[in-house]
Chain A
Amino acid sequence: MQAFTTLNGLTIPLDRANVDTDAIIPKQFLKSIKRTGYGPFLFDEWRYEDVGQPEMDCSHRPVRKNFILNQPRYQGAEILLARENFGCGSSREHAPWAILDYGISCVIAPSFADIFYNNCFKNGILPIVLSDADMDVLFEEVEAQEGASIAIDLSTQTVTSPSKQVFHFEVDDFRKHCLLNGLDDISLTLQQADAIQAYEEKRQQEAPWLF
């Protein structure tokens, strides 16, 4: 997994609540057996006039000009702002894969759905929770000025707005450690193989019907 340490990037303000994973990446793209290639289809239904199909070439598709991802000033963005309950719905990890493949590695919102939040950390994406009031500041500043960028520092757990206001965010230590170092948690867990085996032996005595 790619590590996440600091990021200073152009930011897209997606002013919507309850953005679900079906919207982030519609189901037809879930037929792929790969982890990459989803970026061109991120927010497919909101982004294009036609209905996207896996593997199609998106360069000539008719786009919905008003949708924020299509506006010239936001091309090349690396950070996404959204409103409450971002990533709700289906557990599809294709949603963070699509976000990452598009080039975004940090999403900031007042709240996230649990499974999506967790899936982000497994893929080198940092989801940041800030209060509604802090979000309002970020939305306002990013919308006000073309080319506005936000700076993120995971080690100090801070978000710096375009006007240099600094907001602190919380992140759990273990996840932070894994993200900063790009650690794969399967290898970490396998260091506990003896404990897992010991648990299984004991459990098999107590509840043999489970084995």
Chain B
Amino acid sequence: MAKTLFEKVWQQHLVKANDDGSVLLYIDRQLVHEVTSPQAFEGLRLTGRKPWRVSATVATPDHNVPTTGLEHGITDPVARTQVEALGNNCKEFGIQEFSMGDIRQGIVHVVGPEQGLVLPGMTVVCGDSHTSTHGALGAIASGIGTSEVEHVLATQTLIQKKPKTMRISVDGDLPEGITGKDVALYIIGQIGTAGGTGYAIEFAGTGVQSLSMEGRMTLCNMTIEAGARFGMVAVDAVTLDYVKNRPFSPQGEMWNQAVEAWSDLHSDDDAIFDKDIHLNAADIAPQVSWGTSPEMVVPITGSTPSLDDAKDGVQREGWSRALAYMDLSENTPMQDISIDKVFIGSCTNARIEDFRAAAAIAKGHQIAAHVKLAMVVPGSGLVKAQAEAEGLDKVFMDAGFEWREPGCSMCLAMNADRLNAGERCASTSNRNFEGRQGAGGRTHLVSPAMAAAAAIKGHFVDIRGWS
């Protein structure tokens, strides 16, 4: 029977099917960070359990690490305790960790693929909702809670119910300047933040196939913002090129064997999805979010909505709260919105191509006088080194941006990098929730090039006319 990509990988990982329709699913890789793991390790200790297969798990601290003054260590004692707890837990249980100071340290979702720890056809989990990122490599990858982190550590499996399948095809060629981020935001704008709930989404169509591996990761990263735990892209030459020769990738004869097996990692032509959505690549313009949910997004040429256009009372109430929180009125053109801070980073957009795109915009310009802070935060030590080798750090610093150390940083503001109440930020991260980047802070989600352009002009601009 014809199968979808998701069904193929799912079936290869079935340890056991239960009578009630749930299954015991084998997990090939678990990535661990400091925030969602301490209680899981504590659980193992309390029950005297050992990790089932230590080599399947790799850890790195990211959420709490500072992005400046690393020579002073972590000055926040609570954060330091958590990062140290990760180090101690990894030592105690024999788990490999890329700790602070190791060039491989960084945001888990940047580090995993970069190291070849995530391979096509794998099942991958992490106690973090943006684990969907790894589906870009043709893996089943999903965020889990801390109890499940413990479950996977102890058993290398998860009890799961098979989700429904959805295919979103972006047909035709993406217009010039349109990135994975714009595609992701556009899709969420179309289907809503609950549009994918209960589904595993496969992104397909020429608009998706033409994205680089990093662009696909950006797209799959934001699947969770559409409500779906899993986002996937079929394996093709772009995938293989990316995976080849990474530190943990198979080598030599094993590589050939793997490539042979991976050649089947695409949906069969006549596979049936529970839901099939087609979108036109040509309709996608650079996107900017205006509100406090990623579905509150418009093209850069658009405006904040008019409350009378809400589809029902619940939406009207949501829009009205969001406009008030964001301190915006109805029908405000996005290009008229002035910003205070800029953040280029996060597991959505802190890879080398993101920085190349932002630097291409920033080169030879200065950030606007009223912009208080524009920061660029690499996704990993290796991304940082690569950017420096290409001179991108200099481009940014010459334009007035700060060049920082790797970590999650102002994506969720657990460290010192944050918005103050009332500040407005152009951010390449994935969530514009109330208080996400600091209590009272206002976040607008954009692509790296759009963020760089906003830093320079001091307000949102259409990068399609940039010179």
Contact = CB atoms under 8 A, between A and B. Distances in A.
A90 B430 CA distance: 11
Contact of B16 (A31, A89, A195, A206): A195
A90 B35 CA distance: 12
Contacts of A131: none
Given A30-B35, A189-B151, A172 B194 contact: no
Contacts of A113: 194, 197, 227
Contacts, number: 182
A26 B431 CA distance: 13
Interface residues of A, number: 57
Contacts of A54: 78
Contacts of B315: 17
A200 interface: yes
B394 to A, nearest CB: 32
Interface in A3-24: 16-18, 20, 22-23
B227 A88 contact: yes
Nearest to A121: B147
B104 to A, nearest CB: 20
B318 A17 contact: yes
B197 A114 contact: yes
A84 B47 CA distance: 37
Interface stretch (B79-87, B210-218, B275-283, B338-346): B79-87
Nearest to A211: B55
A94 B146 CA distance: 9
Interface stretch (A32-40, A72-80, A158-166): A32-40
B147 A26 contact: no
Contacts of B63: 30
Interface in B185-216: 193-194, 197-198
A141 interface: no
What size tier do the contact residues of chain B reach?
Answer: 35 or more
Interface string A32-58: 111100000000010000010011000
B285 interface: no
Contact of A115 (B43, B229, B254): B229
A190 interface: yes
A204 B346 CA distance: 35
A172 B161 contact: yes
Given A172-B161, A196-B26, A91 B144 contact: yes
A133 interface: no
A177 to B, nearest CB: 9
A192 B156 CA distance: 11
A209 B129 contact: no
Interface string A180-211: 00000110011011011001100100111111
B64 interface: yes
Contact of B151 (A55, A186, A211): A186
B229 A207 contact: no
Interface string B121-160: 1100001110000000000000111111011001111010
A118 interface: yes
B193 A85 contact: yes
A122 B145 contact: yes
Contacts of A101: none
A93 B434 CA distance: 19
Contacts of B431: 20, 22, 89-90
A83 B317 CA distance: 12
A34 B81 CA distance: 12
A54 B85 CA distance: 17
A105 interface: no
Given A18-B293, A30-B63, A196-B24, 16 more contacts: A18-B318, A31-B64, A31-B414, A33-B85, A35-B42, A55-B78, A85-B197, A92-B145, A186-B47, A186-B49, A189-B155, A195-B15, A195-B24, A209-B250, A209-B255, A211-B55
8 contacts: A31-B64, A32-B82, A33-B42, A84-B194, A85-B193, A91-B143, A114-B227, A199-B15
Interface of B: 12, 15-16, 18, 20-22, 24, 26, 28, 35-36, 38-39, 42-43, 47, 49, 52-53, 55, 63-64, 76, 78-79, 81-82, 85, 119, 121-122, 127-129, 143-148, 150-151, 154-157, 159, 161, 163, 193-194, 197-198, 224, 227-229, 250, 254-255, 257-258, 261, 293, 314-315, 317-318, 412-414, 431, 433-436, 439
Interface of A: 16-18, 20, 22-23, 26-28, 30-35, 45, 51, 54-55, 83-85, 88-93, 96, 111, 113-115, 118-119, 122-123, 172-174, 185-186, 189-190, 192-193, 195-196, 199-200, 203, 206-211
